[in-house]
Amino acid sequence: MIWVIFLQYTDNILNIKGIGEKTAALLNKVGVFSVGDLIEYYPRNYDVFKPIQSIKDAQYDETVTIEGFITDSVNIKKSGRLTILTTRLKDSDDSIRVVWFNMPYLKNMIKLGNRFILRGKVSRNNGYLQLEQPKIISKEEYYKSVNTMTPVYSLTHGLNNTTIVKAVSQAIGELEFDKEYLPVDIRKKYNLCGYSKAVKNIHFPKTMEDMLEARKRLVFDEFFIFSLAVNRLKEDKNKTLNSYRLNKDSDQTLYKKVMDSLPFTLTNAQLKTVDEIYNDMSGEYCMNRLVQGDVGSGKTIVAILALVMIVQEGYQGALMAPTEVLALQHYESMKELLLPFGLSVVLLTGSMTVKEKKETYEVIKNHEADIIIGTHALIQEKVEYDNLGLVITDEQHRFGVRQRDIFSKKGDKPHILVMSATPIPRTLAIILYGDLDISIIDELPKDRLPIKNCVVDTSYREKAYKFIAKEVAAGRQAYVICSMIEESENIEAENIKDYVERLRINLPPFVTVEGLYGKMKPKEKNDIMERFAKNEINVLVSTTVIEVGVNVPNATVMMVEDAHRFGLAQLHQLRGRVGRGKYQSYCIFISGNDSKKIMERLGILNKSNNGFFVAEEDLKLRGPGDLFGIRQSGDISFKIGDIFNDAASLKEACEGAKDISLENIRKMIKENSWIERKIIDYSGNAIL
């Protein structure tokens, strides 16, 4: 008798036949540890082998298959270490230059007058289109490959696509598919295909329709499980009695005094939100509130006032930010604002020394600090609070629902406030933050001048440098963002350093330029940010590490290199770093790719400074073929679902998760430990 041992989702990828230590280590680098992780490492795109097309229809930046005659004898040129081979291919009505790098042996194959099928990417050379590094396709190969789809995965240095394709296909072959867990009535109602079929077809679809059907099911599942988790949280939180109730009789003068001490008056939207928070915290039940407001709408001050309300009653309040830079910035501004009122603020971050941390733990535990600001360090086991009445997460989308929950468990059912700049419509927010009430700050401070935007090609760079120099001469500051997506951190650091050098050469000597990148030590980062905040650094060259929250109102120029590589949501966040003060601010998006599609997408930023508008227009431009567009940072991250594009599916899944009986949920989980783990991941709670 032969025993077949199937793979389980929870098994380590080393159990997959053909995956050794080396491949496993590479897969670990992209976050794939278990078989389930690999199955859910969905393709980023598909390479569709399109039929032969005529050369005149070839578009820049697209992969094309063309057939024709060689009309020029092959030219070979050496350039440094490169051997460059060029020729020309002609079909019935047009011709195109063809170039190969480091393939000198092709010279003997490519003969004048011969007929070839070539497949490759269309690039540009001196303004003319050319076919770069194409594959030579035999007739046989062509008929075998035409119209097939090959999955394209996100890669990392050393990990190539073929390796992932092999690993996934092996895993699918050996997998014992978890039983179909969705009740049949749900599958029928929402017209969903079977689970195992979906898994196979998302990785290896034969047709676009297969892929779309598979995707529909998997998106639904992801949202469905998420909804179950949110519902679980909601049950937990609704009707939690308020143990940190603001005393309505004592006149809450302190937060009003702080408000009066501000150099500006709050907008109506801010005032309304402050009222809502006050009413929540002085009501019968615990506060669970989301404050949503576009970048620069002034969410921080609202958070500060909430903290003041709670600490006036003798409780502690804590605020968690996603990065050290941001935590430090909040800490500095709160200290300055609140010290005159006798309130003490303390900072706790991961980069502090063990000794500093220990001292801070004591300060927190002994309630020598009223307000605690920090990063993830705030939710470490060792931190003990004293009478923690309010927890706030800034930039909630950077955290999981789970972390928010761990944070609140640091106290005994404290009030919860979360802040987010993700521009999602209210109907979606209600689902995604199902366990929270929502306040929306839909108004920018009055003194703001609208940011002036321009989307330009690289030839504009020199002008941009001159413009930056002019702004610096007038006392202002600038950010320059350059980032290589999907390259290693080392390359990123080198890139930034090179760019800093380049700017130092290109800008007048009075301009100070420094760089900031992900791999830097937190202390170095903080130091640079502090000097930038004090205008000791005029121009900051950075990767997207400064994307969220950073507030230096004196900065008026945001220049983004390679803007075409970023998602619009991310560019909007970056833009939010300027226009935060009374000065006219400018955004310069430099695109290294001027294809019509890309310019149209970037052009949306030109039309409006409003995050909701940008998100909506972006959605309209993304057709069904663009399901796996540039990863939108800033969105609540799902592996396959896109809250904008798949909004309808999100609603259905939420509805389905409401309808399913507790009994059915329990059954589903009992038979599929993988799902239970996900629910716990999302919510921090098991379903009982």
Q: Interface with ligand ADP by CB under 6 A: which residues?
A: 264, 266-267, 270, 293, 295-301, 421, 445, 447, 551, 553, 580
264 binds, among Mg ion, ligand ADP, none (CB under 5 to 8 A by kind): ligand ADP
Site for Mg ion in 547-576 (CB under 5 A): 549
- For residue 544, the minimal CB distance to ligand ADP (Å) is 16
Residue 296 or 317: the one with the smaller Cβ distance to ligand ADP is 296
Quick check: 359 and 286 in contact, CB under 8 A? no
Residue 317 or 549: the one with the smaller Cβ distance to Mg ion is 549
- For residue 439, the minimal CB distance to ligand ADP (Å) is 12
Non-local CB neighbours of 185 within 8 Å, separated by 6+ positions:
none
User: How does DSSP classify residue 244?
Assistant: S
521: tokens are 């030590």
Max CA-CA distance within the chain?
Answer: 94
127: tokens are 């303004």
Residue 506 or 551: the one with the smaller Cβ distance to ligand ADP is 551
Quick check: 303 and 392 in contact, CB under 8 A? yes
297 binds, among ligand ADP, Mg ion, none (CB under 5 to 8 A by kind): ligand ADP
Cα 498 to Cα 611: distance, rounded to the nearest angstrom: 32
User: How does DSSP classify residue 50?
Assistant: P
540: tokens are 């900051």
554: tokens are 């004196």
Cα 313 to Cα 310: distance, rounded to the nearest angstrom: 6
Residue 547 or 676: the one with the smaller Cβ distance to ligand ADP is 547
3-class state of residue 319 by DSSP: strand
Helix (H) or strand (E) holding 437: strand 437-441
Residue 304 or 568: the one with the smaller Cβ distance to Mg ion is 304
Residue 297 or 526: the one with the smaller Cβ distance to ligand ADP is 297
Residue 32 or 301: the one with the smaller Cβ distance to ligand ADP is 301
- For residue 300, the minimal CB distance to Mg ion (Å) is 5
- For residue 399, the minimal CB distance to Mg ion (Å) is 14
Residue 139 or 534: the one with the smaller Cβ distance to ligand ADP is 534
- For residue 213, the minimal CB distance to ligand ADP (Å) is 40
Q: What character string, x for contact with Mg ion (CB under 5 A) and - otherwise, covers 521-550?
A: ----------------------------x-
3-class state of residue 190 by DSSP: coil
Q: Starting at the earlier edge strand, list the strands of the sheet with 316-320.
A: 345-348, 371-374, 316-320, 388-393, 415-420, 288-293, 437-441
> Which of 450, 384, 392 is CA-nearest to residue 417?
392
- For residue 324, the minimal CB distance to ligand ADP (Å) is 16
Residue 389 or 549: the one with the smaller Cβ distance to Mg ion is 549
Residue 345 or 675: the one with the smaller Cβ distance to Mg ion is 345
580 binds, among ligand ADP, Mg ion, none (CB under 5 to 8 A by kind): ligand ADP
Cα 263 to Cα 448: distance, rounded to the nearest angstrom: 14
105 binds, among ligand ADP, Mg ion, none (CB under 5 to 8 A by kind): none
Vertex 647: Cα angle to 644 and 651 (nearest 5): 155
296 binds, among ligand ADP, Mg ion, none (CB under 5 to 8 A by kind): ligand ADP
445 binds, among Mg ion, ligand ADP, none (CB under 5 to 8 A by kind): ligand ADP
611 binds, among Mg ion, ligand ADP, none (CB under 5 to 8 A by kind): none
295 binds, among Mg ion, ligand ADP, none (CB under 5 to 8 A by kind): ligand ADP
- For residue 233, the minimal CB distance to ligand ADP (Å) is 25
Helix (H) or strand (E) holding 517: none
Side-chain-side CA neighbours of residue 34 (13 Å): 10
- For residue 485, the minimal CB distance to Mg ion (Å) is 24
3-class state of residue 682 by DSSP: helix
Quick check: 493 and 517 in contact, CB under 8 A? yes
573 binds, among ligand ADP, Mg ion, none (CB under 5 to 8 A by kind): none
Cα 325 to Cα 347, 446, 520, 530: the distances in Å are: 12, 27, 12, 9
683 binds, among ligand ADP, Mg ion, none (CB under 5 to 8 A by kind): none
- For residue 549, the minimal CB distance to Mg ion (Å) is 4
553 binds, among Mg ion, ligand ADP, none (CB under 5 to 8 A by kind): ligand ADP
- Segments of 103-162 assigned E as strands: 115-125, 128-137, 149-152
Cα 579 to Cα 452: distance, rounded to the nearest angstrom: 9
- For residue 606, the minimal CB distance to ligand ADP (Å) is 21
What residue number has its CB nearest to ligand ADP? 298
612 binds, among ligand ADP, Mg ion, none (CB under 5 to 8 A by kind): none
Cα 350 to Cα 360: distance, rounded to the nearest angstrom: 12
| 36 contributes a contact to Mg ion by CB under 5 A | no
- For residue 445, the minimal CB distance to ligand ADP (Å) is 3
3-class state of residue 676 by DSSP: helix
Residue type at 566 in one-letter notation: F
- For residue 137, the minimal CB distance to ligand ADP (Å) is 52
- For residue 429, the minimal CB distance to ligand ADP (Å) is 16
Side-chain-side CA neighbours of residue 36 (13 Å): 13
Residue 426 or 620: the one with the smaller Cβ distance to ligand ADP is 426
Per-residue b or e along 233-249, where b marks 16 or more CB atoms closer than 10 Å to that residue's CB: beeebeebebebbbeee
- For residue 526, the minimal CB distance to Mg ion (Å) is 17
Non-local CB neighbours of 269 within 8 Å, separated by 6+ positions:
293, 297, 440, 441, 442, 443
> Total number of residues binding Mg ion (CB under 5 A)?
1
> Which residues are 453's β-sheet partners?
587
Residue 98 or 295: the one with the smaller Cβ distance to ligand ADP is 295
Residue 360 or 609: the one with the smaller Cβ distance to Mg ion is 609
What residue number has its CB nearest to Mg ion? 549
Residue 549 or 581: the one with the smaller Cβ distance to Mg ion is 549
Quick check: 84 and 77 in contact, CB under 8 A? yes
Using CB under 5 A, list all residues that contact Mg ion.
Answer: 549
